[in-house]
Amino acid sequence: MTDTVNLTNHFLIAMPSLDDPNFYHSVTYICEHSEQGALGLVINRQTDISLGEVLSQMDLEWPEQSLADQIVLLGGPIEQERGFILHSPAGDWDSSIRITDDLALTTSLDILEAISEGYRPDRLLITLGYAGWTAGQLEQEMVANAWLTGPADPKILFDLPIEQRWEAAARSVGVDLSRLSSDAGHD
């Protein structure tokens, strides 16, 4: 991309005025951004499904209880029946997008099979579905003041309670969302 910023490994933080129900008060982690578009995972929308339930549905063994209890997130409105695993270390899996030297997004079954057999990634986030933008769409939304952006913080991404991620991500770029009007930037 020659005249735009690459937002790979950045957060998209929904402005208070963004009323799309898929992204209202959301934080999206951008896994890939290029001239063809962008792919991200919403990291602060819970489902009522646990990793243990997903593994059981696939006839795979449960890992230890703490990992089996991990809640699966709703990663976005696209392909919500498909799983996306954000993990560190990146490893060598059948179908992965390497985001950084140590972080990857994997959609292949082999990583879930490995987890059921005892593999423990250092960091793990699992979603159903993803968020996607066509060429130029995200850039247009940025111009329309729909999003704040900033470098992703692994602590917010993996460690912070889900309900705190939106405000924490905004604070990480110096914005107090409670001080923003939902009418800002609109006529």
Q: What digits encode the pLDDT tens for the residues 42-53?
A: 999 999 999 889
Q: Are 112 and 85 in contact (CB under 8 A)?
A: yes
Q: Cβ distance 147 to 14 under 8 Å?
A: yes
Q: Residue 187: what pLDDT?
A: 41
What percentage of the chain exceeds 70 in pLDDT?
A: 94
Q: What does the alpha-carbon distance between residue 135 and residue 34 come to, in Å, rounded to a whole number?
A: 8
* Domain 10-177: assigned CATH number: 3.40.1740.10
This prediction has a pTM of 0.91
**Where are the chain's structural domains?**
10-177
- What pLDDT does residue 24 have? 95
pLDDT digits 0-9 by tens, 99-116: 999 999 999 999 999 988
Residue 180's pLDDT band (boundaries 50, 70, 90)?
A: confident
Residues 62-71 have pLDDT tens digits of: 767 777 888 9
Q: What is the pLDDT, as a whole number, of residue 76?
A: 97
Token pair of 182 as six digits: 């939902």
Tokens of 80: 């919500």
Q: Are 52 and 58 in contact (CB under 8 A)?
A: no
SS (H, E, C) 119-143: CCCCEEEEEEEEEEEECCHHHHHHH
